[in-house]
Amino acid sequence: MEKERFLSVDWQSPDMNSGAVADQLPRPFLDLGWEQPVHHDAKFESAISSLVSSPSLNPSSGNGSVVVRELVGWLGSICDSGDISQTSCYSTPLNSPPKLTLPVLGHRQQGGGGLPMPGNEMADGQFTGFAANPGFVERAPRSSCFGAWSYGGLGDQSGLPEAGNLSRVPSSHSLKSAGALQMGVPDNGKDASKSNPERIETEMRSKLGGGMPPSSTSGRTMASGAANNVSKRKAASRGRGKEAPLSSSNVNSPTAAEDEHPDAKRCKPAKTNGADKDSVVKQETEQNIGASQKKGKENNAKPQEPPKDYIHVRARRGQATDSHSLAERVRREKIGKRMKLLQDLVPGCNKITGKAVMLDEIINYVQSLQRQVEFLSMKLATINPQLDFDLETLLQKNMHQEHEPLPQQVYPSEGTSTAFSYAQQHQGSPLQSAITNGLGVGQQPLCPFDGLADATSQLGSFWESDLQYVVRMGIGQSQGAEFFSQSLHAD
Amino acid sequence: MDSKGSACSNPNPNPTFGPSKLMLAFRFLRALSIVHRTTPASSPTCRGRRIERAAYASMAYSAGTSRAWSRAVLRRLHHRARRRAVAPRRLSTTAGNRAEALRRLVPGGAGMDYCTLLEETADYTKCLSMQVELMQGIVDSASSNGR
């Protein structure tokens, strides 16, 4: 029962306040929950007393009693049940620890320090027992007071930009209150010391960093619960009839992963009608501590923002998750891949880093190649005869048996091309090496042109297009045929 | 056509695979022979231009029509052949914007997005380098065999 009273106290204070205290309460409690038990006792007591004694809390103490009763009853049920369903409100194991300390701290206050501060142990016990804020928020609609509190506490965007983000502990408010707690000063002393907040912030950060792994291990049950919850939420969001675009589905398949993967946020339409705050909190809790706080604040600032695009790309840690940035990242990755390919193609570009310089190199290389083609073509224009001879010689060596079968109406080149293709099939390497040598030396005789007739009809159309170009160049058909026949029959 | 089509066309979107050197060589050599036969030796520049066009044509045919740049090259060549225009000239890339310069260099690059442009540049560069190798080999062999 002490637990409930503590919890009621926690709820009470936020209920009174518009929400500033509510956020302050969990955070210092969350942080302190990671500290050593002994450390907690004094801190909690002083903190709670200070908070309770704050003028903002006092006025509505009377009203709060009624609220408290309801809260107590509800919390008692939660405590007693302590089943996994409670853990479903945990989005990720990372976020559970911070929320767990909430009731623990509440404990402290009422018990007057009588209860041993379980610290993490109790936190573990209460992992399953107590619902974190998201869980509370879930049940908010059930009780008006809860709803008021939850929305006031978590949904107060104006008061605290990080209202809903319990995972982001190092916030100025929490630091302030934590500082107050640690120093045991009254509420008005929250802003007394700024030095403490920094210290506490670092402490919190280190604790959270260190605490996350243990929490993740201990919170496996919660992880499953969180997964269930998240999957439920996602199913609900999916059920809203949104279809992922084709491109995003392509991206999704390689990047699909579990929900409770701590290192990534899933880009999902988190904001749903009627569950905005809830989803806000959940999305916040899904974020890593250290993940884009800016993004989280963005989410907080507009809880009603339109649902995100179903691009299903894993947003990397510390990166934004809106559809535009994800598409941009995909595009940038594609461009990066292509640039790597080009880097391999262009010789001497291995050391170059940077797209601009690389592009310059590519441009230079293509330009140089084109200039080379022009130059070589000019050169080839002058060294005409030998080439013809070579070609004739090569063809002759292999054609001496096949002169007659070659049909004249069909372009002889087709026959030769057939032979080439045949050669490629049978003995690709010797011919290829000959070709790669520029056909300079006729040491590699072409393969015998076997089955010319068979392949001719097959490849006729293929070469037709090529020869058509030649035709368009001003060469008559008859001329071409005549030329080839000459080359073939010449000695 | 299947054997040659598969060897010459490039249905694989991955630009690592390029057209086969063999077919390129054959096409080019044949076209070269035709040019030598048909153009008078008195006009080496004209012949040179034709050879250059033949080189690009063989490149484009070897690459197949699956590539945007090869389609653009063939389109340009056919148009020019019909209209008897001057051989397509390369534009110098003095533009500050590198993407623009690249677009002007790669045939058909004007109507592409940047991503496709890079891909086409890769394929075009590969084909171009193969063509240059081939022509260089021919020149070397011809000069070595030359009397």
Token pair, residue A200, equals 């506490």
**Minimal Cβ distance to B137: which of A440, A462, A483:** A440
> Nearest-CA distance from B130 to chain A in Å?
9
Contact A334 B4 (CB under 8 A): no
Nearest to B142 by CA among A378, A373, A444, A386: A386
**Which of A288, A249, A364, A254 is closest to A91 using CA atoms?**
A288
* pLDDT computed for residue B75 by the predictor: 84
Q: Residue A16 corresponds to which tokens in the numbers above?
A: 């009174």
Contact between chains at B102 and A379 (C-beta distance less than 8 A): no
* Chain B: residue whose CA lies nearest to A387: B142
pTM, full prediction: 0.40
Total CB pairs under 8 A between chain A and B = 232
Cβ–Cβ of B82/A472 closer than 8 Å? yes
Q: How far is B11 from chain A (nearest CA, A)?
A: 16
B44/B59 Cα distance (integer angstroms): 22
Q: Tokens for A300, please give them.
A: 């907080």
Asked if A169 and A204 count as a contact pair (C-beta separation under 8 A), the reply is yes
Task: Inform me whether the C-beta atom of residue B79 falls under 8 Å from chain A C-beta atoms.
Answer: no
Q: Distance between CA A318 and CA A288 in Å, rounded?
A: 8
Q: Do A421 and B118 touch (CB under 8 A)?
A: no
Number of CB atoms found within 10 A of residue B10's CB? 23
Mean pLDDT score, B91-111 = 73
Q: Are A51 and A173 in contact (CB under 8 A)?
A: no
| B142/A437 CB distance under 8 A | no
The answer to whether A18 and A149 have CB atoms below 8 angstroms apart is no
Q: Under an 8 A CB cutoff, do A380 and B48 touch?
A: yes
Give the span between the Cα atoms of A107 and A47, in whole angstroms. 12
Closest CA to A183 of A203, A200, A205: A200
- Give the span between the Cα atoms of A32 and A181, in whole angstroms: 9
Q: Which residue of A has its CA nearest to B1?
A: A459
pLDDT digit string, tens, across residues A13-70? 444 444 444 444 444 444 444 444 444 455 545 544 554 555 444 444 445 555 555 5
**Two structure tokens written together for A444:** 């590699």
Is B105 an 8 Å CB contact of chain A? yes
Nearest-CA residue of chain B relative to A364? Answer: B93
pLDDT of residue B82: 67
The one-character DSSP state at A186 is -
Residues A40, A117: contact at Cβ < 8 Å? yes
Structure ipTM: 0.82
Q: Do A436 and B21 touch (CB under 8 A)?
A: yes
Residues in chain A with CB shorter than 8 Å from the CB of B49 are 377
pLDDT at site A284: 42
Search chain A and give the residue with CA nearest B56.
A373
Nearest to A171 by CA among A135, A208, A134: A208
- pLDDT, residue B114, reads 85
CB A196 within 8 A of CB A183: yes
Sequence-separated (6 or more) residues with CB below 8 Å from residue A337: none
**A381/B44 Cβ within 8 A:** yes
Ranges of chain A with pLDDT below 70: 1-315, 384-491
Q: Where are the beta strands (DSSP E) in A301-422?
A: none
Cβ of B128 within 8 Å of Cβ of A366? The answer is: yes
Residue with tokens 């670092």: A202
Please tell me if residue A478 touches chain B, with a CB cutoff of 8 Å.
no
> What residue spans define the domains of chain B?
21-81+100-141
Residue with tokens 């309770």: A52
| Residue A377 at interface with chain B, using a CB cutoff of 8 Å | yes
DSSP B126-141: HHHHHHHHHHHHHHHH
Contact flag A366-B38 (C-beta cutoff 8 Å): no
pLDDT digits (tens, 9 = 90+) for A71-80: 555 555 655 5
Q: How far is B68 from chain A (nearest CA, A)?
A: 16
Nearest to B105 among A342, A356, A367 (CB): A367
Question: Is the Cβ of A46 closer than 8 Å to some Cβ of chain B?
Answer: no
| CB within 8 Å: B44 and A378 | yes
A444 touches B: beta carbon within 8 Å: no
A420 and B30 within 8 Å at the Cβ level: the answer is no
Are the Cβ atoms of B138 and A341 closer than 8 angstroms?
A: no
Q: Measured between alpha carbons, how far is A330 from B18 in angstroms, rounded to an integer?
A: 25
Task: pLDDT band for B96, please (50, 70, 90 cuts).
Answer: low
Nearest to A478 by CA among A386, A388, A412, A385: A412
Of A345, A371, A435, the CB nearest to B125: A345
Residue A64 has what DSSP assignment? H
Residue of A387, A414, A416, A431 to mutate when probing chain B, most B C-beta within 10 A:
A387
Taking only residues 19 to 48 of chain B, the set having a beta carbon closer than 8 angstroms to any beta carbon of chain A reads: 21-23, 25-27, 29-38, 41, 44-45, 47-48
> What pLDDT score does A368 carry?
92
Check residue A349 and report its DSSP letter.
-
Residue A295: per-residue pLDDT: 46
Nearest-CB residue to A487 (from B7, B33, B101):
B33
SS3 A310: coil
Q: For residue A65, what are the contacts with CB-CB under 8 A and spacing of at least 6?
A: none
